[in-house]
Chains A and B, each alone.
Chain A
Amino acid sequence: GAGVSQSPSNKVTEKGKDVELRCDPISGHTALYWYRQRLGQGLEFLIYFQGNSAPDKSGLPSDRFSAERTGESVSTLTIQRTQQEDSAVYLCASSGQTGFGTQYFGPGTRLTVL
Chain B
Amino acid sequence: DQQVKQNSPSLSVQEGRISILNCDYTNSMFDYFLWYKKYPAEGPTFLISISSIKDKNEDGRFTVFLNKSAKHLSLHIVPSQPGDSAVYFCAASESSGSRLTFGEGTQLTVNP
Contact = CB atoms under 8 A, between A and B. Distances in A.
Interface string A34-56: 01000011111100101000001
Nearest to A102: B46
Given A45-B101, A48-B98, A100 B93 contact: yes
Interface residues of B, number: 26
Interface string B32-68: 1010100001111110010100000000000000000
A95 interface: yes
Interface residues of A, number: 28
Contacts of B45: 105
Contacts of A101: 98
Given A31-B98, A43-B102, A91 B89 contact: no
B44 to A, nearest CB: 5
Interface of A: 4, 31, 33, 35, 40-45, 48, 50, 56, 59, 91, 93, 95, 98-108
Interface of B: 4, 6, 32, 34, 36, 41-46, 49, 51, 89, 91, 93, 95, 97-105
14 contacts: A33-B98, A33-B99, A35-B102, A40-B104, A42-B89, A42-B102, A43-B89, A59-B99, A99-B32, A100-B93, A100-B95, A101-B98, A103-B46, A106-B43
Given A41-B104, A42-B105, A105-B45, 19 more contacts: A31-B98, A33-B98, A33-B99, A45-B100, A48-B97, A48-B98, A48-B99, A50-B98, A59-B99, A91-B43, A98-B98, A99-B32, A99-B95, A100-B32, A100-B95, A102-B34, A105-B43, A107-B43, A108-B43
